[in-house]
Amino acid sequence: MRQAKKSNSSRRVKLTDKQSERDHRQLRIDKVGVRRLRFPIQVRDKARAIQNTIATVGLFVDLPKEFKGTHMSRFVEVLNAHGDIIYVANISEILYALQKKLNATTSRIEMEFPYFMSKRAPVSGKVSLMDYTARFDATATRDDIDFVLTVRAHVTTLCPCSKAIAKYGAHNQRGEVTVQVRFKRPVWIEDIISMIESSASSELYTLLKRVDEKAVTERAYENPVFVEDLVRNIVVKLKAHADITWYRVEAENQESIHNHNAYACIEKG
């Protein structure tokens, strides 16, 4: 006579929970979690109301000194429990859920993603998509939430000194600008991009015909800016925005005639 199969409950093995063991080193960890997790998100789009994109996500909490480790799977559980798309509006819900699920005082979420805008060439009017980089950094300490928006864009800068001393032209280069802001009310990503691009010698385009190339080159020549001018021009615009409470502006020019880059930064004190 065959022996009856054991039930699932009788075969269940108790697994050791190493993360919950006590740690003797008495060192609190400020930030522990998962990084480089790709996830679909929806962000506000000034032209089309909503834009769907893919973010690279990081989720973190603090870890008290008495615990050996955190439970990494719980971060992914929390994220997926809020649906298959992250909305900016529910970031605070995710932060609070992380605190509760992992018994933490502080929770953090980082999201970096490509953001697309349609751009029209200056003369031909040809339309193409231009990509930028945006990032959300949100931290919850108990009920308090800190939110920082970061926007990164590339521009053209033409050297004023080169223009003043050269007989035939002036050297120019591509500049990378990073703007970080805190605000009282939400700020459009497009508005930050506009501040960056209008502060340079010229903005960049994905699609340019010959007539557009001529226009862009001449515009840059007529509007030379040092890297110092670039950050100052942007800060003047940020200071005039009623909803922005803090900013940090960085610009780095990939120099075309030097074996180094030029860099400048202004941060609100």
Is 56 a residue whose pLDDT tops 90?
yes
Report how far residue 202's alpha carbon sits from residue 157's, in angstroms, rounded to the nearest whole number: 7
Helices (H), 103-226: 160-165, 189-197, 210-222
Count of residues making up the chain: 269
Question: Picking from 4-18, 44-58, 177-191, which range would have the lowest pLDDT averaged per residue?
Answer: 4-18
Residues 55, 80 contacting (CB under 8 angstroms): no
Report how far residue 181's alpha carbon sits from residue 248's, in angstroms, rounded to the nearest whole number: 7
pLDDT in tens, 96-128: 999 999 989 999 999 999 999 999 999 999 999
Per-residue pLDDT band at 232 (split at 50, 70, 90): very high
Nearest by Cα to 249 from 258, 241, 238, 262: 238
pLDDT at 28 (0 to 100): 83
Rounded average pLDDT over 26-47: 92
Q: Where are the beta strands (DSSP E) in 2-48?
A: 29-45
Structure-token pair, residue 140: 């919850």
Residues 163, 221 contacting (CB under 8 angstroms): yes
Is 183 a residue whose pLDDT tops 70?
yes
Is 21 a residue whose pLDDT tops 80?
no
Residues 23, 68 contacting (CB under 8 angstroms): yes
pLDDT in tens, 234-262: 999 999 999 999 999 999 999 999 999 99
Is 70 a residue whose pLDDT tops 90?
no
Half-sphere exposure of 72 (CA within 13 A, CB side): 9
Highest CATH level, class, for 121-269: alpha beta
Report how far residue 46's alpha carbon sits from residue 188's, in angstroms, rounded to the nearest whole number: 7
